[in-house]
Amino acid sequence: MNKRTFLIPSLLVAGFAPPVSVAAAEETASSISADALATGELDRGAVLFRQDRPVLLAGHSSHRSHSSHSSHRSSSSSGGYYPPAPVYSPPPLPAPAPSPPVQRARPRTFGQPLNLLGGEGDAFTEVVRQVQRGLKAFGYFEGQVTGTLGADTKAALTRLQTDYDLKVTGTITPEVLAALRISP
């Protein structure tokens, strides 16, 4: 190819400026657009208006519609890239953030935790009872199996956690349940 001769022997003849270094050419190009486009008002030029962030609205990320995202040209596959005009379907659109509900619950009572759940089959109390039995069996608890988490039960939990090298919280943690073999 290079040995062929061309009617226009060089780009210079065609009106292009003589070759310059790549860096200089880039600099020229960028200074043109900077001069022409960023006025003194814009202290940070194009960086100010970057649109390259993902658009994130509830539930979906969507791109700006209408702009086509793949390249095209006219001389081939002309029908391929515009969606045929009438069938514009917007991108999956997000839901707005809901205004959150704050359902004001029952009258407030301070002090001891309320047993709002009540009723039979008090599962909470049953788990505490199981733990108390377990602590007894492991030799950490000598009180009554009440189903209530009193100071003595908490102290027993703390001792167990310390001895077994568990995280010391004084509460019924998954680790405690596993150690006492009460795990689900």
Site for another protein in 129-148 (CB under 8 A): none
Number of shown-chain residues binding another protein (CB under 8 A): 110
How many whole angstroms separate alpha carbon 84 and alpha carbon 82? 6
Residue 51 CB, nearest distance to another protein (Å)? Answer: 7
Judged by beta carbon, residue 63 or residue 144, the one nearer another protein is 63
Task: Tell me: does residue 151 bind another protein (CB under 8 A).
Answer: no
Residue 162 CB, nearest distance to another protein (Å)? Answer: 15
> 50: closest CA among 39, 62, 42?
42
Among 135, 149, 160, 179, binds another protein (CB under 8 A): 149
* Residues from 44 through 103 that contact another protein (CB under 8 A): 45-51, 53-59, 61-62, 64-86, 88-91, 93-103
Among 135, 156, 172, 180, binds another protein (CB under 8 A): 172
Q: What is the largest CA-CA distance in the chain?
A: 107
Sign of CA dihedral 127, 132, 137, 139: positive
Long-range pairs of 128-136 with CB within 8 A, sequence gap ≥ 24: 128/153, 128/172, 130/180, 130/182, 131/157, 131/172, 131/176, 131/177, 131/180, 131/182, 134/180, 134/181, 134/182, 135/160, 135/180
Residue 142 CB, nearest distance to another protein (Å)? Answer: 20
Opening angle at CA 54, ends 53 and 55, nearest 5 = 110
Site string for another protein, 107-126 (x = CB under 8 A): -x-x--xxxxx-x-x-xx-x
Residue 76 CB, nearest distance to another protein (Å)? Answer: 5
Residues 151-174: b if buried by 16+ CB within 10 A, e if exposed: eebeebbbbbbeeeebeeebebee
Site string for another protein, 10-49 (x = CB under 8 A): -x--xxxx-xxxx--xx-xx--xx--xxxx-xx--xxxxx
Judged by beta carbon, residue 139 or residue 174, the one nearer another protein is 174
Residue 156 CB, nearest distance to another protein (Å)? Answer: 14
Confirm if 117 and 124 have CB atoms less than 8 A apart.
yes
